[in-house]
Amino acid sequence: MSYTDEIMERVIRENPNEPEFHQAVREVLESLRVIVEKNEEAYRRDAILERLVNPERQIKFRVPWIDRHGQVHVNTGYRVQFNSAIGPYKGGLRFHPSVNIGIIKFLGFEQIFKNSLTGLPIGGGKGGSDFDPKGKTDREIMSFCQNFMTELSKYIGADTDVPAGDIGVGGREIGYMFGQYKKLRGLFEGVLTGKGLSYGGSLVRTEATGYGLLYIVEEMLKSHGHDMAGKTVVVSGAGNVAIYAIEKAQQMGAKVVTCSDSTGWVYDPEGIDLKALKEIKEVKRARLTEYKKYRPDSEYHEGRGVWQIKCDVALPCATQNELGIEDAKLLVENGVIAVAEGANMPDTPEAFKYLQEHGVLFLPGKAANAGGVATSALEMSQNSERLHWTFEEADCKLKSIMVDLYHHIDDAAKRYGMEGNYVAGANIAGFEKVADAMLAQGIV
């Protein structure tokens, strides 16, 4: 049996009931087959793959908090410090009822390669809780965040592990957690990214994942003789990534006609009204059902369905496994040119393989959504320097990181005879740097 197959079997055996983690590892190992076969002796001797798929540390803790009626609740908190070969652990915190150790491990594992691809010195980690922020008051959110940080603060720091936001964790939650960390540790340091501008945040961090997604898509399209101007775009999600992907796509002259949330989706043939969307989601924190009040000619549908709308470019920006094989077939039938993952692992393996086989340009999340963590690393640099860059400076750096990233994965795919396969290119390019650093640092 090959080394990669052996490791896959072991991952399934040793991590039962963690299907998302298996899926993420399988996708990476399949891409790495060529490079592992070339270096099998050295990798086996140093157990590179065994070390790669086993987190350096997994922390699980109790988070008690008090609701507005005085009732105490208990949730579970996690932080998985996956790989620090190339820098301090870096990766977001997710608050969502679906969170469990398998989800956090899949996200942490992806983060290793994504962070490596940015070219910046950051290792891979991820964390979160099964806490559901929906319907909670501001004070309940604060109580939860403070109690979550009371425990997490023992394991993180500006030079060891620097969490950021993810689903359910935005500027408000980062603020409450930062305040609690500062109180407990007596340190005003860049321990979290995604902070507010008044206390060490970076301009462009809020926009970074969505903007970065469009920068890399535009570069890929240009390399294939297209551009974003005039394209029809379908987006899923209505959170941080989706909103700023829509904003940048519109700035580039494209028309975005859909968005969605966990209960339904909107089709606005004239183009999404971004001002209305921001007010509904960022200010009122309401459901998308509200959208029709602003745009009476738009359609609202319950459930999922954005992928049935004809488009040139599709951008899944909500959550994992939201685009399956039937959706991929519809997109191909409707003539889609490119699909790029704003979310982490939103396409099932069957879906992205189908898209690739049918000539669709496909960018995996670990490349396409790396702009968020890249700008987080820029926030860390500014915190260390005690400096604050302008919007233009930070945006320019983000754009150049995303453009370089595209050429880096394109080149890796070509080097291994898989031109145009950006899944393989991203996994290989991300892995090369991490494996190199792991080999250099000995058995640790």
Cα gap 245→242, rounded to integer Å: 5
Among residues 123 and 237, whose Cβ is nearest to ligand NDP? 237
Quick one: which H or E segment has residue 143? Answer: helix 138-152
Q: Rule CB under 6 A: is residue 398 a binding residue for ligand NDP?
A: no
Q: Rule CB under 6 A: is residue 207 a binding residue for ligand NDP?
A: no
Q: Are 413 and 425 in contact (CB under 8 A)?
A: yes
Which positions ≥6 away from 130 have C-beta within 8 Å? 75, 76, 96, 97, 98, 99, 100
Nearest to 97 by CA among 63, 139, 133: 133
Segment contacting ligand NDP (CB under 6 A): 64-72, 162-170, 177-185, 306-314? Answer: 162-170
Q: Rule CB under 6 A: is residue 343 a binding residue for ligand NDP?
A: yes
Segment contacting ligand NDP (CB under 6 A): 83-91, 216-224, 342-350, 422-430? Answer: 342-350
CA dihedral 203, 375, 229, 361 (to 10 degrees): -170
Q: Rule CB under 6 A: is residue 192 a binding residue for ligand NDP?
A: no
Q: Which of 31, 150, 180, 240 binds ligand NDP (CB under 6 A)?
A: 240
Q: Which of residues 273-312 bind ligand NDP (CB under 6 A)?
A: none
Quick one: which H or E segment has residue 411? Answer: helix 391-415
Apex 168 CA angle, 127 and 263, nearest 5 = 130
Q: Rule CB under 6 A: is residue 125 a binding residue for ligand NDP?
A: no
Shortest distance, position 167 Cβ to ligand NDP, whole Å: 4
Q: Rule CB under 6 A: is residue 115 a binding residue for ligand NDP?
A: no
Q: Which of 146, 344, 356, 421 binds ligand NDP (CB under 6 A)?
A: 344
206, 333, 369 from 245: Cα distances, Å: 11, 24, 10
- Residue of 114, 126, 248, 399 marked catalytic: 126
Q: Which of 308, 319, 356, 421 binds ligand NDP (CB under 6 A)?
A: 319
Q: Are 413 and 421 in contact (CB under 8 A)?
A: yes
Shortest distance, position 50 Cβ to ligand NDP, whole Å: 26
Among residues 173 and 410, whose Cβ is nearest to ligand NDP? 173
Q: Are 141 and 133 in contact (CB under 8 A)?
A: yes
Q: Which of 11, 167, 177, 394 binds ligand NDP (CB under 6 A)?
A: 167
Cα gap 234→257, rounded to integer Å: 6
Q: Rule CB under 6 A: is residue 23 a binding residue for ligand NDP?
A: no
Shortest distance, position 1 Cβ to ligand NDP, whole Å: 33
Among residues 88 and 165, whose Cβ is nearest to ligand NDP? 165
* Positive or negative torsion for Cα 387, 391, 393, 396: positive
Q: Rule CB under 6 A: is residue 238 a binding residue for ligand NDP?
A: yes
Shortest distance, position 318 Cβ to ligand NDP, whole Å: 3
Q: Are 111 and 143 in contact (CB under 8 A)?
A: no
CA dihedral 343, 348, 353, 356 (to 10 degrees): -30
Active-site residue flag, 105: no
Segment contacting ligand NDP (CB under 6 A): 59-67, 148-156, 224-232, 233-241? Answer: 233-241
Cα gap 194→190, rounded to integer Å: 10
Q: Which of 75, 143, 193, 209 binds ligand NDP (CB under 6 A)?
A: 209
Q: Rule CB under 6 A: is residue 241 a binding residue for ligand NDP?
A: yes
Residues with a catalytic annotation lie at 126
Binding site for ligand NDP (CB under 6 A): 165-168, 209, 237-242, 261-262, 317-319, 342-344, 369, 372
